[in-house]
Structure 1
Amino acid sequence: MKVEIFSDVVCPWCYIGHHRLHQAVRLYEGPVEIAHRPFQLDPDGVSSGEPLLSALERKFGGAAQVAQMTGHVAGVAAQDGLKLRFDRAIAANTFEAHRLIGLAGRAGRDADMTDRLFRAHFTDGLDVGDPATLATLAAEVGVEDTGEGAGEVRADLARARELGIRAVPLFLFEEKFAVSGAQPVETLVAALREVEQRTAQERAARVPGGDGCDDGACAV
């Protein structure tokens, strides 16, 4: 089964959703291919080293509002074993980070690269829009940055717009069934099993009928 997760590495709910999806896949125990797809919350954002809290306060109307928002999501993340340090995070444009995830995917390391970028932003206080920082993170994960992949990121971002995706995380199962938001692990496991069942039913419906016998009659 193929599951695509559309997310941004500066989105806290995406970090939680990423973590929960991989937990769900382990519990599901069936074969699952996870593809990490890019989405930019702020495609026009600039990586200037500005503290994230300052950027959020400017966008959402003050420190009190932002403290309430970040405190809530940090509390949810903590229950999942994730540490969000908004006081250390740095606002960043994430296009190049997504490009690295795409390159990592060629070697089957996109999950590791995504996780490292989430931790770099939310826990380590690193600027995931800074080229030197990204080079270090790529080396840590064992990803060779060839400079390629920008076109693929643009194509994936365009596809997300065509699909009508406006909020992340979004999980797309078999290119047909979508689940949005950082759903609980049990919900994601249930979704995997439901999609498996629906896909099996669709395959059975497409199998052409062969020779056989009806109830009470058999033409031989």
Structure 2
Amino acid sequence: MWSDLVCPWCYLGKRRFERAVAEVGADVEVVHHSFQLDPSFPRGKSRPTREVLSEKYGRTLEEADAMEAQMEERAAADGLEYHLDGVHMGNTVDGHRLVHLAASHGLADAVVDRFYAAHFTERRSLFDRDSLVSLAAEAGLDAAEARAVLESDAYEAEVAADGEQARALGASGVPFFVIDQRYGVAGAQSTEVFAQVLRQVSAAAAG
């Protein structure tokens, strides 16, 4: 599963996929891969998301606000609580590095969920290292180890390699799923679509 930690569709897609797994009763191991929507953001800095959306799509700030309101409604329909007013956008490489650290401890899913909830629901920063360390610790990581990673270049190469792998597979955006190394699913598809793919994979495996 390739995703960015500030991508609202990624959180939504993750939830829909998880519901499909539960519905099908599939035995699934999820591997989280990093993807930065905008790696050019200066580290440690952030900007209001409404400004970023306005510039990216050529919309007024009011239109950007309406886009975010629509996203909140979509999320609510899937049981997620988004509060996007006042949310900021920034470079997510440090957050992704902590997800790689978490994976080494079997905690990647917990850390990804904690970061999503912090960003989209609680409006906590994923761009300030103190905030990231605190959130990682809340998800079960050792705070000192998390800080040591952020103060080094640990997992920089892994984050970059994830992005390169996604592009090699033809992914230009996220979320992007590869199931059983054969089935690619782009976007936050419906639970029904994910369930259909999982059933196809199970049937193929059964021969």
Is 1:190 equivalent to 2:200 in the alignment? no
2:87–2:119: 8 Å Cα contact kept in structure 1? yes
Paired AA for residue 39 in structure 2: P
Alignment of 1:198-209 (within 5 A): 198-201=204-207
How many angstroms apart in 2 are the aligned matches of 1:140 and 1:20? 24
In structure 2, the residue matched to 1:59 is: 56
CA distance in 2, matches of 1:118, 1:150: 21
Identity %: 37
The CA deviation at 1:55 is 2.3
Q: Does 1:111 align with 2:91?
A: no
Q: Render the CA deviation track for 1:147-203: whole Å, top value 9, x for unaligned.
A: 1322211111111121121021111111111111111112211111101212333xx
- Report deviation, 1:134: 0.6
Structure 1 counterpart of 2:65, one-letter code: A
3-state SS of 1:178 partner: strand
Residue 37 of structure 2 corresponds to residue 41 of structure 1: yes
Question: What's 1:154 paired with?
Answer: 160
- CA drift of 1:65 comes to 2.7
Structure (1 or 2) with the greater helix fraction: 2
1:57 offset after TM fit, Å?
2.0
1:124 CA drift (Å) = 1.3
Deviation at residue 60 of structure 1 after TM alignment: 2.4
> What SS is found at the alignment partner of 1:34?
coil
Q: List structure 1 runs of 4+ shifted beyond 3 angstroms.
A: none
Q: Does 1:177 align with 2:183?
A: yes
8 Å contact from structure 1 (residues 91, 127) kept in 2: no
User: 1:88-107 counterparts in 2 under 5 A?
Assistant: 88-107=86-105
Whole-angstrom CA distance in 1 between matches of 2:141 and 2:32? 16
Question: In 1, are the aligned partners of 2:34 and 2:96 still within 8 Å (CA)?
Answer: yes
Q: How big is the alpha-carbon RMSD for the aligned residues of Structure 1 and Structure 2? A: 1.5
Compute the displacement of 1:30 (Å). Answer: 2.5
What secondary structure is seen at the aligned counterpart in 2 of 1:171?
Answer: strand
For 1:168, the equivalent position in structure 2 comes to 174
Report what 1:15 is aligned to: 11
- Asked if 2 retains the 8 angstrom alpha-carbon contact of 1:104 and 1:143, the reply is yes
How many residues are aligned here? 197
Unaligned runs of 5+ in 1: 202-220
- TM-score (norm. length: structure 2): 0.89
Counterparts of 1:143 and 1:84, CA distance in 2 = 25
CA contact (8 A) 1:92 1:127 kept: no
Counterpart among 137, 141, 154 of residue 135 in structure 2: 137
**What is the identity, as a one-letter code, of the residue corresponding to 1:199?**
A
- Bigger Rg, which one: 1
Per the alignment, in what secondary structure is the counterpart of residue 26 of structure 1?
Answer: helix
TM-score by length of 1: 0.84
**Does the 8 Å contact 1:8/1:40 carry over to 2?**
yes
